[in-house]
Amino acid sequence: MRIGVLGAGQLGRMLALSGYPLAKTFVFYDMSGSPSAGLGEVMIDREGQYLDDFISRVDRVTYEFEHLPVEVAERIARERPVHPSPRALQVCQNREAEKTLFGELGIPTPEWKIVDSAEALQAAAEELGCPVVAKTNTEGYDGKGQAVLRSPEDAVDAWASINHPRLIVEKFVDFRREVSIIAVRSETGDLAFYPMAENTHHQGILRYSIAPAPRLEKHVQEDAERYIKALLNELGYVGVLTLELFETAEGLVANEMAPRVHNSGHWTIEGAMTSQFENHIRAVSGHPLGNVAPRGVSCMINIIGEHGEIDRILELPYAHVHLYNKGERPGRKLGHINILADSYEELVWRVKNCAQFLPGCPEFQSSLASKG
Ligand code: AMP
């Protein structure tokens, strides 16, 4: 089976790496002009003129990147199975549509408003009560196109700095920690849920994910499973879906979802019986899902901007290094390291030991750090 992947970055690379043992082959379709997957067949098509050629080369199509025209996915869907559906792509591209769907399905969100001018932003900040977070309604990722307003008077500067015609303004959530849940749905509607991860960001970029999230109460995992299940079923979804959430004193609050494999699920490559990548390939290929149980406890450390002393890390007997074959550039995701352990105590020690070889890696912070 030839799987067509829209997008050609590291997520596509890891999808292919997990699909080869199942005898899948891959054709990547890149509209950005800078593919980095580095394996499989890569078609670069900035203007969309070779789409028919791409379609003729593949049996099924999926995504590793959601910021591409929905019409492209819709056109492909008329000729080949596309998983997840173009509707899922459409909802995930638009924070207003996403938060509206969350609300319809009873998934808690921060209070939010849509604004289209600096004056409306100021009024929304007054009504919601500061602090608030203003974000571009479309096209945002890794914290880009966002500003925190500490008072309504910040509206003019925030509007100018984001420079986008339509923003969503959300009440700032006083969270204990950020978490995510990754789930997968098969063509026959079977569901599987990975244990949730605790995620630490630095300068808007994910740095550490620990899974299973330490000291997570059972009912919190159950709430997250209920929310993501509602989304999967509502969207008739096939493949891996990620839901990012804030854990607060009052329970979970949804932030956003991604219609694809996710950075906060990279730990599953060695840390779960079946990785998120393999499970996505299984689902979109029409196969049964694999076991999502964790193997011990894991921490994923992102390699950002510089590679650091990779050979020193390769010497560590508990570190699994994954490099994306990308050039160094500030803020760029170059790879990740999965650390496995039998206990959280051991995990903290191993993570700190590893992180010292990564220049610019922020000090390990997590709900475990104080104990570590
Ligand atoms: P996003 O692009 O929506 O994932 O936002 C990037 C990061 O900004 C999140 O991971 C949070 O750390 C922070 N953030 C976003 N929205 C909120 C919010 N409503 N309240 C508090 N922090 C937020």
- Contact by Cβ (8 Å): 23, 305: no
Residue of minimum CA distance from atom 7 in ligand 1: 143
User: Where do the CATH 3.40.50.20 domains begin and end in the chain?
Assistant: 2-82
Residue of minimum CA distance from atom 2 in ligand 1: 143
Token pair in block for residue 134: 């203003």
Residue of minimum CA distance from atom 1 in ligand 1: 143
Looking at residue 316, what is its pLDDT? 98
Please tell me the distance from the alpha carbon of residue 9 to that of residue 323, in angstroms, as a whole number.
12
What whole-number percentage of the chain has pLDDT above 70? 98
- Residue 255 in marked binding region: yes
Q: Is any atom of ligand 1 closer than 6 Å to the C-beta of 133?
A: yes
Looking at residue 371, what is its pLDDT? 44
Looking at residue 37, what is its pLDDT? 92
**What CATH architecture does domain 111-171 belong to?**
2-Layer Sandwich (3.30)
- Contact by Cβ (8 Å): 262, 107: no
Residue of minimum CA distance from atom 5 in ligand 1: 143
How far apart are the CA of 341 and the centre of ligand 1, in A? 29
pTM over 0.85: yes
How far apart are the CA of 243 and the centre of ligand 1, in A? 13
Q: What is the pLDDT of residues 148-170, one digit of tens each?
A: 999 999 999 999 999 999 999 99
In order of 165, 176, 218, 226, 324, the CA distances from 223 in angstroms are: 35, 16, 9, 5, 34
Average pLDDT of the chain, as a whole number:
96
- Residue 140 in marked binding region: yes
Q: CB-based burial of residue 174 (10 Å sphere; 0-12 exposed, 13-18 middle, 19+ buried)?
A: exposed
CATH class of domain segment(s) 177-371: alpha beta
User: Quick one: which atom of ligand 1 is closest to the CA of 171?
Assistant: 19
Give Dmax (Cα) for the chain: 58
In order of 323, 324, 339, 351, 363, the CA distances from 358 in angstroms are: 13, 16, 14, 11, 10
Smallest Cα–Cα separation from 293: which of 312, 308, 279?
279
Q: Is 37 helix (H, G, I), strand (E, B) or coil?
A: coil
Residue environment code for 39-52, b if the CB has 16+ CB neighbours within 10 A, otherwise e: ebebbeeeeeeebe
User: Quick one: which atom of ligand 1 is closest to the CA of 244?
Assistant: 4
* Helix ranges restricted to H, 118-176: 118-128, 155-162
User: Where do the CATH 3.30.470.20 domains begin and end in the chain?
Assistant: 177-371
- Residue 201 in marked binding region: yes
Residues in the chain: 372
- Residue 50 in marked binding region: no
Regions of the chain with pLDDT less than 70: 141-142, 369-372
Looking at residue 368, what is its pLDDT? 83
Looking at residue 370, what is its pLDDT? 58
Mutation pick for ligand 1 pocket among 95, 113, 128, 133 (CB with most ligand atoms within 8 Å): 133
Looking at residue 372, what is its pLDDT? 39
176 CB neighbour count, 10 Å cutoff: 12
Q: Is any atom of ligand 1 closer than 6 Å to the C-beta of 110?
A: yes
Q: Is any atom of ligand 1 closer than 6 Å to the C-beta of 84?
A: no
How far apart are the CA of 198 and the centre of ligand 1, in A? 14
User: Where do the CATH 3.30.1490.20 domains begin and end in the chain?
Assistant: 111-171
CATH class of domain segment(s) 2-82: alpha beta
- Contact by Cβ (8 Å): 255, 245: yes
Q: What is the pLDDT of residues 212-269, one digit of tens each?
A: 999 999 999 999 999 999 999 999 999 999 999 999 999 999 999 999 999 999 999 9
- Residue 265 in marked binding region: no
